[in-house]
Structure 1
Amino acid sequence: MANYILKRLLSVIPVLFIVSVVVFFIIHLTPGDPASVMLGDQATEEQLDEVREQLGLNQPIYIQYFSWIANVLQGNLGFSYFMNEPVLSSIFEHLEPTISLAILAEIFAILLAIPFGIIAAKRKGSAVDQTFMGFSLLGISVPSFLLGLILILVFGVYFALLPVAGYMPLSAGLVEHLRYLILPAIALGTMQAALIARMTRASMIEIYELNFVKAIRAKGTKEIVLTVKHVFRNALIPIITVVGQTLGTLIAGAAVVETVFNIPGIGQLILNSVERRDYSVIQGSILFITCSYIFINLVIDLLYGLIDPRVRLK
């Protein structure tokens, strides 16, 4: 197990290197820079050059890259001159809303998708199966921002049941915290629920058709025991895989929903930083999200051995 973890961690290095190179050069090659945003349109070229020199933007781009990487390896993701604080502090300040939203959306997706997927698999080809899969196709097709606007209109404007924007931290109380996150979590988690439901159905149908399931059923085992203990457990690996991937996607892709519901998460931090050309924050945030995604996938891989003893991680 230790060797496997070490191999996975070593395999992360080239991934992070490629991500850092792509992100750094795309950002720096995009027209505009922090100096022009900070000083405005009325600034002279001399003033712009002075600020660029202070920020180190007048150096060759490869020098800027290696300087940034050297700082990252020391745990320093840079400094935001717009927010006047280290990038790592900015990320942690915006991390709680994103994590809370992603976890709640994932819980909603799992609780909705897995029962629907199991029922659809049990009734393969029936009207119930076709109905559930039709709704899952609709869930995949509707963009999260559009669903969010519909939820705001229905539950926030027409019925006035839930807040339509803003965020309350967990310190303000669990109930109030959840009231502000329910609508964005549904908007963000619906597409993931559709993916998990379809994967659950496909995986369980595949297990149902295996000979050992027919043998267990022939012994007179109750259908609920057969489904939960034997079929669902053996179908878990692809389900766990897609759950892990969707969680990583929720953390990385919450920017649009955070913007629609005005949630001060990492997604909104990145969008605001792009508008300001705040290079350090953009680079640091994307690198942080990449590391989070890799860590989630590593945890999912380690769970395989616990779920299915036939899987051996070496």
Structure 2
Amino acid sequence: MARRLLSTIPILLVVLTVVFLIIHLTPGSPAAVILGDNATDDQISNLNHQLGLDAPLYQQYFLWIADVFRGNLGASYFLGQSVTSAIISHIGPTFAIAMLAEIIAVTIAIPLGIYAASRRGTVSDVSIMGVSLLGMSIPSFLLGLFLALIFGVNLGWLPVAGYEPLSSGVWNWFQYLILASVALGSMQAALFVRMTRSSMLDVLRKDYIRTVRAKGVKERGVIYLHALRNASLPILTVVGQSVGGLITGAVVTETIFNIPGLGQLIVDSIQRRDLPVIQGTVLFITFAFIFVNLIVDVLYGVLDPRVRLK
């Protein structure tokens, strides 16, 4: 775990560098956005000096890196608060959507993948794989629009936009998130189904599975007690990596459903050229992705003792 933690430092440095260069080399001045179209060149120059944006690029870079490693992500140009506070105030909806989408994807996809593997070549197997292929082919934003049209506009069962905190009631909170979560988790569910089926088929061909069956163990026991655990490492890898996809996918999904999460924060900050918020939010999302993968590495050793021996 210590080695894994140390290995994240170069990754974070690369992400910091790439994000900084992309943002600062993109045309457009935050000072011009703040002051408006009627601002003079002198006013823009003065504000750039106050914000430190007229300093050499390398100097801005090293100052920002130093602040990051001190735990200071800077302050927003527009929100009147620190970047850390802005992230904390917007993380709740994004975390709720991502986790709900992950729960939906895992609880539906993994049982379907196991069922398809246990009935390879049957109509059920072909049907499940066909639906999963369709799920991987439809982008989450397009599915979100269809869901909003059907369940929000036509049927009127669920709200099509907005957000209610959990303090307003579980049902109010849930109904504002379910469409976005289903849209976001559909592609991940399709991927989980295919990976679960493939991994289970590979394990079910092993000699020890034939030995277990020869001993008279029922098929349910063969699948859930012997095959699933050894097939779980590839599944766990895909599930862990999907968390990053869910967080980044929330950028578009939150915009469609007007949910005030990290995705909407990033989009609004890009439109305003709020550089500290963009840099800090992307860095936070990267760190969250690295942290989830660290947890997945630890779970490898829990599920398979051979990983601990290595």
Task: Give the TM-score of the pair, scaled to structure 1.
Answer: 0.97
Tell me the secondary structure at the aligned position of residue 79 of structure 1. coil
Q: Percent identity?
A: 57
Q: Partner residue of 2:138?
A: 142
1:220 aligns with 2:219: no
In 1, Cα distance between equivalents of 2:270 and 2:45:
21
**Offset, 1:313:** 6.2
1:70-102, Cα deviation, whole Å (9 max, x unpaired): 111111101002001000000000000000000
Q: 1:184 aligns with which of 164, 180, 183?
A: 180
Partner of 1:163: 159
Structure 2 Cα separation of the partners of residues 78 and 156 of structure 1: 39
The corresponding residue for 1:233 is: 229
State the TM-score, normalizing by the size of structure 2. Answer: 0.98
Mean CA deviation greater in 122-131 or 140-149: 122-131
Does 2:207 align with 1:211? yes
Matches within 5 A, 1:250-289: 250-289=246-285
Q: CA deviation at 1:172?
A: 1.2
Q: 2:50 aligns with which of 51, 54, 67?
A: 54
**Counterparts of 1:75-154 in structure 2 under 5 Å?**
75-154=71-150
RMSD: 0.9
- Give the Cα–Cα distance (whole angstroms) in 2 for the partners of residues 57 and 313 of structure 1: 52
Q: Does 1:200 align with 2:201?
A: no
Deviations 1:21-52, CA, capped at 9 Å, x for gaps = 00001100101021010112221110000000
User: 1:123-150 deviations in whole A, cap 9, x for unaligned?
Assistant: 1111111111111111111010100000
| 2: CA distance, partners of 1:236 / 1:150 | 33
Q: What is the CA distance between 1:166 and its match in structure 2?
A: 0.6
Gapped runs of 5+ residues in structure 1?
none
| Greater mean alpha carbon deviation, residues 115-124 or residues 304-313 | 304-313
In structure 2, C-alpha distance between the alignment counterparts of 1:303 and 1:224, rounded to whole Å: 24
Which residue identity is paired with 2:236?
Answer: I
How many residues align? The count is: 310
Aligned-partner residue type, residue 7 of structure 2: S
> In 1, Cα distance between the equivalents of 2:180 and 2:224?
31
Unmatched 5+ stretches in structure 2: none
